[in-house]
């Protein structure tokens, strides 16, 4: 009998649904951008690397929600902040990863 998903199960199931390459790309860029306190990664860098690695179109990355990994990384101990420009702003969207227990 099928049961409704619980809030605690969402990120676990999300990991299973993502292609391995998505988390590999995030992990690689976290390591590359790590400055000892944080890793700030431009969304465009993530998308470019995912498109190249999976041989997909850019729009598919967004359509499939492959960048929606904040909860997965929070469950793994990261403090994740996503920042994108608002109306009348123009700067690159970024993900910032910090150790949860540090500011």
Angle between helices 20-33 and 43-54 (to 10 degrees): 140
Q: Tens digit of pLDDT for each residue in 8-30?
A: 788 777 776 789 999 999 999 99
Note the pLDDT of residue 5.
Answer: 84
d(CA 92, CA 103): 22
Q: What is the pTM of this model?
A: 0.86
Q: Tens digit of pLDDT for each residue in 47-93?
A: 999 999 999 999 999 999 999 999 999 989 999 999 999 999 999 99
- Domains defined for the chain, CATH in brackets: 7-99 (1.10.10)
Note the pLDDT of residue 102.
Answer: 59
Cα angle: 56, vertex 91, 33; to 5 degrees: 65
Note the pLDDT of residue 103.
Answer: 52
């Amino acid at each position: 009998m099928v049961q409704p998903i619980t809030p605690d199960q969402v990120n676990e199931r999300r990991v299973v649904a993502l292609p391995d390459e998505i988390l590999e790309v995030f992990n690689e860029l976290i390591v590359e951008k790590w400055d000892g306190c944080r890793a700030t990664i431009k969304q465009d860098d993530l998308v470019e690397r995912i498109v190249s690695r999976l041989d997909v179109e850019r729009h598919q990355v967004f359509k499939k929600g492959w960048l929606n990994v904040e909860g997965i990384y929070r469950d793994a101990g990261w403090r994740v902040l996503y920042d994108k420009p608002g109306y009348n702003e123009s700067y690159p969207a970024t993900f910032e990863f910090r150790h949860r227990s540090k500011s």
